[in-house]
Structure formats: C-alpha cells, structure tokens
Structure 1
Amino acid sequence: MLDADLHPLLRLVAIAGATAPRRALLEAHSPAAAMAAGPAVWRSFELDDAQIAALQRPDMDLLQRATHWLQQPDHHLLGWHDPDYPPLLRRVANPPLALFVAGDAARLWHPGVAVVGSRSATPAGRDNARSFARALSGSGWAVASGLAAGIDTAAHEATLEAGGMTVAVLGTGPDIPYPRANAALLARISADGAVVSEHLPGTGPRKEHFPTRNRILAGLTLATVVIEAAARSGALITARLAAEAGREVFALPGSIHNPMARGCHRLIRDGATLVEDSGEITVAIAAAAAELVGDLRARLNGPTSTGHEDRAAAIAASARSDPDYQNLWNCLGHDPTGMDQLVARTRLTAAEVSSMLLLMELDGRVASQHGRYFRIR
C-alpha cells in the first residue's frame, strides 16, 4: 500500500456504520483521493451524516494506535481497493472494508478449510479436530479457525505441531487474544501463520463481533468442517454463511446421546455433507482450489499494491535454483502423488511442500487432481 493511502484508509475503517458505501467509494477512488474528495462526494456515495461527521473529526488516538501497530514487522492492512485483498472474501455478502493481518498476508490466498466447533468440546471432539487438522494440513490445505476455546484451539495447535499452515480469524483486534488463555497461541500463529481481523488494534471482545467474524472465516476458505456443535452454536452460523457463499459444508456425525452432536446432525439434515475422512473434503474442493490458483496467477501478472516487486513473484522467479525446490521436483513423477508421500520423500514439512507445489502450478510445471500432484512438463 502507498504510504499516502494508509492514514486515509484507517480513517475510513475507523468510522461506524454501513460498509457498502465505503467499499463503493474505494472502488472509484484511492483512499487518499477518497478522503480529499470531501463531504459532497462522500454523500454521493451514500455515506450518512454520522459517517461524514466522523471522517471530518477523526479519533486521533485511535488512529495513532493503529498506525503504531502497523509499523511493527509483519503487520499489514489490506483494503478493499488493494489487489492483495483475498479473492474468495470478495465474493461473500458484506465483505469487510479492510483486514488487519499479523504474519504472512500471502497465506490468505492459500487454499484452506475452516475447522470449527464448540467451545465446550468433548475430549473426543477435540481429538477429531486434531485428527482432521493434521490430515488436512498434511494434504497441503491451510487450516483456518477462530482462536476460540475447544475445537478451534485444538485445530490450530494440531496444525502448528504438524508443521502446517494455519490462519486465525478474530472477533477482536489483531493484537487481542480471546480467550486470554490463548495469548501464546496467538503469538505462535502470528509468527508461523496469519492472524486476521477487520477490527482496529486494541479492540476488545464484543458479543456482536463474533457472528460477523464468522463470515470472514467462512469467506476465506473453500470449505467449512463442523466437528462438534450444540443445537445453538456459533459454528452453525459459520456453516450457514459458508453455504450462502457457495462453499462446501461438512459435518461429523456423533452419538445421539451427545448434545454436542446435535448441531452437526441438524446440518446434515439440512444438506451438509456427512464426512468421516479428510480425503472426502480434498476430493470435493479440488476444483475450487484450482480456480483459486488461477486467481493467484492473475494477481502475480497484475499490478502490485506497493510499487515494489511482489514477493510471491520474486520467489517464483528464483525457485528453480532452490535446492528444496529441486528436491521436490525430483520426487515428483508423471503419475499423481499424494501430499503425504511427497512429504516423506522430500523430508520437508507439509507447509513447505504445499507452498512450492503452488508455485510450480503457477509456473505451469505441475498439475493437481483430487489433491494429488504430477508433472506436466
């Protein structure tokens, strides 16, 4: 993002009210030009009187705190106008105006699966969350969740332990763990994955933010897997939003005597796919993942948001000389090979193999079929 756009974008993010008028404003103007346009133009884009007043009298303490957070290493702000804004999220109803990201923002483009469920999970539910998270990350998918207690925590931890890629979507500011017991987990994800929030740094937990958080979690991923959920559960909101966005929804069945299985059974009755093995998920979302790779290829061929060479394009240009890349290439054949086998052959982590395979696909050297990879030239 251009430095001239940062403060204007923060001012647009900081005001309350409908986001659709502000998205429309950013589709027509850069953030700096939008702020310079003045009240008459803002009103023409249907910003209301309260929003216009807030733009004219910004909370400088709030903006300074956000600016200070963004000055820290690996902290980013992706606005609606930004070509790096995740393409899957653009397709949901009422997408956020901007995302604060701690960690590697490029991971928001990586094909992923949301693993969600009850905060009051049973031991068996937590075991299932760990098992699915390990298997999904081992197959090259990013595993996303909401950093909540229970199923979310189990999914994040298992992915990190497996050396996979995980994304945490928060209902607080990107610097505020909720629950507080997950402060260390938040730091680990910031260092090894990505933490995402639409809320300004310093924003504490508010009840109304968590259902809206779920639309980002559903929108960033190709599928949502509900491990355990009571009859009334935030995980069901995520599943509904995923279905409304045209994404796959899976649910694990459970005992009829387990109240934490009732939400999953309801989802299955309502049309979610009953799932018993992560391989079923891979097969179902392979085509959508290929489309996302096409979006990334178009992004790498398009303009950057900073005026500097895009990091992913630079990696793609130099990858062929990398020993690990060559190791992976040598371990690939013309017959489809699964992610687990490639990890075993190369002795690399699943996250490393997955990232290199994505670059090979963008380079036109590798294709995938049902989660298995093969050389095409």
Structure 2
Amino acid sequence: MHAIATTADTATELAGWLRLQHVPGVGPVAARALLARFGLPPHIFSAPFDALREVVPASVARLIAQPPRPVANSQLELTLQWLQRPGNAVLTLADAGYPPLLLEIADPPLLLYVRGRAELLSRPGVAIVGSRNASAQGMQNAAAFAHTLSGAGVTIISGLALGIDTHAHEGGLRGAGGTVAVIGTGADLVYPRRNLDLAQRIAEQGCIVSEYALGLPAMPANFPRRNRLISGLARGVLVIEAAAQSGSLITARLAGEQGRDVYALPGSIHATLAKGCHALIKQGAKLVESADDVLQELSWLGMPAARPDDAAPVDTPLLAVLGHDPHDADTLAARSGLAMGVLMGELLALELAGRVERLPGGLFQRCK
C-alpha cells in the first residue's frame, strides 16, 4: 500500500483510518492492538462486540460499534481537500512508506500528515534540540553542527521551535541531508508564526510531519508528546543548551527509552543553559565538542556528502555479500570481514544512494 493520495478509492480508505483515529479511548497503543488482531480499519468496525472486548475495554468497544462521529466526517472532507495540494500526503501504519524507526517505538502514530519530501522520514537522521531562549553562541553551534551533519548526508530532525530548533533546521537546509520538522499542531498550521517563512522553506526543500489532525491549534500538552517522534525518527539526539527543567530533557529521556544515542554539548559551569546538558552527561549521555564527534559515534566519520540521486559504487564487495536477502549487521560483518564501524559507514553510503534499504529489526536488504 502506498501513502494515501487523491485517487478513486482514497475517500473510503481514509475514512476508515480517520474514524479509528477519532474513537475516544483509542490511542496509538490500542489502535495498533486492534489492527494486529483484526487487520485494516474496515475489519475492526465490522468485528463482533465480544471480539472487540478481548482487545479493548467494553466502553471503548461500544464506541467502535457506533456510527462514525461527526468529527471524523468533517476531518475526512478537510483532509481530502488538503491532499489536493502538491507535496501533501498521509501515511498510515499500513503504508510501506511509514518510517521504519517509528515502528520500533511503543506508540507509533496511527496517521502521519506529511508536507514535502516524505522519503526523508526514512533516511538516517540526528535530532538536534535545545532551549527556545538560546544564547547567540548556542544558536551558532546548532546551525554549525546541523550544517556539517547534513553535509555528510545526515537528515536533521527538530521541532520548529524558536532558538536551537530554528537554527538546526536552517543548518540542515544548507546540506544534502535536509531537515525534518516534527510539529505539535495540525500539518496545515505553523507555530510559532515567527517561523512561517522557515516552515515554507522546509515544506519545499525538506519535510514537515505531524500526527495531529488538520486544523488542531497549538496546545501545551501536544508538544511533550510530539517529542517522542523527534527522538523516534532519529538514530541519535543531540542536546545543545538546556536548562535544568528544559523540555529538551524530555526528548533526551524518550530517546534513551527508545534505545537511541544521546549526545550533549557541554558549556560553562556558570551558565544556566548548560545545566541540563551537564546533567545528561552525568547520566551517561556522550559529551561531544564537534559534529565529527557525533559522526564518529555513529560510525559515519569521513563519509562524503551524498544526495539521494548520488550513485553508490556498483562494484562494492558489500553488495555481493548482501545478496538479495535481509541480513543483520553482525552477519554482514562476519561475512565481509569489515570492522563494524567501516561496515556501518558503507551501509549508510549505500542507503543514501538508494542501493540498500534499512528494515525494521536492524536488518539491511539490497534494493537493486
């Protein structure tokens, strides 16, 4: 199945997903359990009440058995109109293009609303987060780190907030890796409004993604929740300037729970905005002083800048080792004789060139 776009059957397909999304009491975890048990949404809504009760509470099962709520119908009309605009798409949990790293987290969103280059959601990325009230030096560091990482083909992921996020996106746009903005409103809105121009450039050159229904305004509870997607889409999270109670520490905590690496940029012992980073380092985050430190931690140091249309060497021995079946990194290292760091660097270069696909569960498969 492909991302939902405006074709003959999309209204019916999208209606089922939106109906499921708007059933009270059905969040990402319950939705995933229902999908695992019954299959696609039409099968869920046609399931017997007793069977539904085996997966969700009786009160929720009764709501599933009711006709579609008006909000689902209004959202369907709004979403179909939104999908008419170039570059807009909706990804569901059943789509082949759904970001594989998000499938690894405990509560992946049922739907992702995407503006721009949806393929960036599945490319190797690093999240850069930090204070909204960052210092001039902190913002310069965010832009510089992002520019260097993006120049090495790494996608920069952040949250479109003022301060560190803004400059991380700016740096990401300047390199081959591009940038992804994970937002806490509907994908048809921009918050904060001061980043309207930046959001437009990201939609044109990078990617904006949201799990929230179209038209949903900024609400305080949405932003901590969207942080799990910032970390979930990334292979590592870099924190640049964070006070002791910063929201960036939530993202770092979620990253640790999701098995992602956490990096922190140290600062002066007298600086309030360094205290959060120092706390992370004490808790085991990796201290970094340059973008090369991050690349080295990810075994990507020395990888040349690459664009999606760059061709990988056709005669690389690793492609022959891969064959056409999925393999994990340990198996490939044993077969190729390559050190793990060298192997991961070659795999990333091949992935960026479209020759290798990273599958859920840490597997790699040759594409062509």
TM-score past 0.5 threshold: yes
CA displacement 1:122-156 (0-9 Å, x = unmatched): 00000000010001001110000000000000010
Distance 1:124 1:73, change over 3 A: same
- CA gap of 1:153–1:337, structure 2 versus 1, over 3 A, is closer
Matched, 1:286 2:299: yes
> CA 1:242 to 1:11, structure 2 compared with 1: closer, same or farther past 3 Å?
same
User: 2:266 aligns to what?
Assistant: 253
SS of 1:233's equivalent in the other structure is coil
Hey, what does 2:154 align to over in structure 1? 141
Q: Out of 18, 24, 49, which is 2:59 matched to?
A: 49
What residue number does 1:70 align with? 83
Contact 1:137–1:351 (CA under 8 A) maintained in structure 2: no
Runs of 5+ unmatched residues, structure 2: 3-8, 323-337, 356-368
Please tell me whether residue 24 in structure 1 is matched to residue 5 in structure 2: no
Task: Report deviation, 1:264.
Answer: 0.2
Partner of residue 118, structure 1: 131
Aligned mates of 1:109, 1:244 — CA distance in 2? 20
**Scaled by the length of structure 2, what TM-score is found?**
0.78
Question: 1:8 corresponds to which residue?
Answer: 16
More deviation, 278-287/241-250: 278-287
User: Compared with structure 1, are the counterparts of its residues 167 and 208 closer, same or farther at alpha carbon in structure 2 (3 Å cutoff)?
Assistant: same
Following the alignment from structure 2 to structure 1, what is the Cα–Cα distance between the partners of residues 163 and 313?
A: 31
Paired letter, 2:67:
Q
Amino acid in the other structure paired with 1:128: N
Alignment of 1:37 onto 2:47: yes
Moved more, 129-138 or 1-10: 1-10
Q: Which piece of structure 1 moves more, 25-34 or 49-58? A: 49-58
1:339 equivalent among 304, 307, 327:
304
Instruction: Flag the 1:255–1:203 CA change in 2: closer, same or farther, 3 A.
Output: same
Secondary structure of 2:190 counterpart: coil
Please state if 1:178 is matched with 2:191. Answer: yes
For residue 102 of structure 1, report the CA deviation from its aligned partner: 1.1
Q: Residue by residue, what CA displacement relative to the aligned partner does 1:77-119 show, whole Å, maximum 9, x if unpaired?
A: 2222223221111111222222111112221110000000000
Contact 2:123 2:155 in 1 (8 A): yes
Q: Secondary structure at the match of 2:15?
A: helix
Cα distance in 1 for partners of 2:263, 2:294 equals: 8
> Do the aligned partners of residues 277 and 371 (structure 1) sit closer, same or farther apart at CA in structure 2, a change above 3 Å counting?
farther
- Give the Cα separation in 2 of the matches to 1:109 and 1:360: 25
2:329 is equivalent to residue 364 of structure 1: no
Which 5+ residue runs of structure 1 have no aligned equivalent? 288-335, 341-349
**Structure with greater proportional helix content:** 1
Give the drift of 1:32. Answer: 2.8
Deviation, 1:50, is 5.1
Tell me: higher relative CO, structure 1 or 2? Use CA pairs within 8 A at least 6 residues apart.
1
- 1:102–1:43 Cα change, 3 Å: farther
Residue pair 2:150, 2:174 contacting (<8 A) in 1 also: no
Q: Which residue of 2 aligns with 1:324?
A: none
Q: Aligned runs of 1:157-306 on 2, under 5 Å?
A: 157-286=170-299
8 Å contact kept, 1:22–1:45: no
Q: Aligned in 2, Cα 1:35/1:190: closer, same or farther, shift over 3 Å?
A: farther
User: How far off is 1:261 after superposition?
Assistant: 0.7
Identity, in percent, stands at 41
TM-score by length of 1: 0.76
Counterpart contact for 2:238–2:264, Cα < 8 Å: yes
Q: Does the CA-based 8 Å contact 1:126-1:151 persist in structure 2?
A: yes
Question: Do the aligned partners of residues 42 and 79 (structure 1) sit closer, same or farther apart at CA in structure 2, a change above 3 Å counting?
Answer: farther
Partner of 2:116: 103
- Determine if contact 1:26/1:80 at 8 Å carries over to the other structure: no
Please state whether the residue corresponding to 2:218 is helix, strand or coil.
coil
Q: Note closer, same or farther for the CA distance 1:186–1:130 as it changes in structure 2 (3 Å cut).
A: same
Return the offset for 1:338. Answer: 3.3
SS in 2 for 1:242: helix
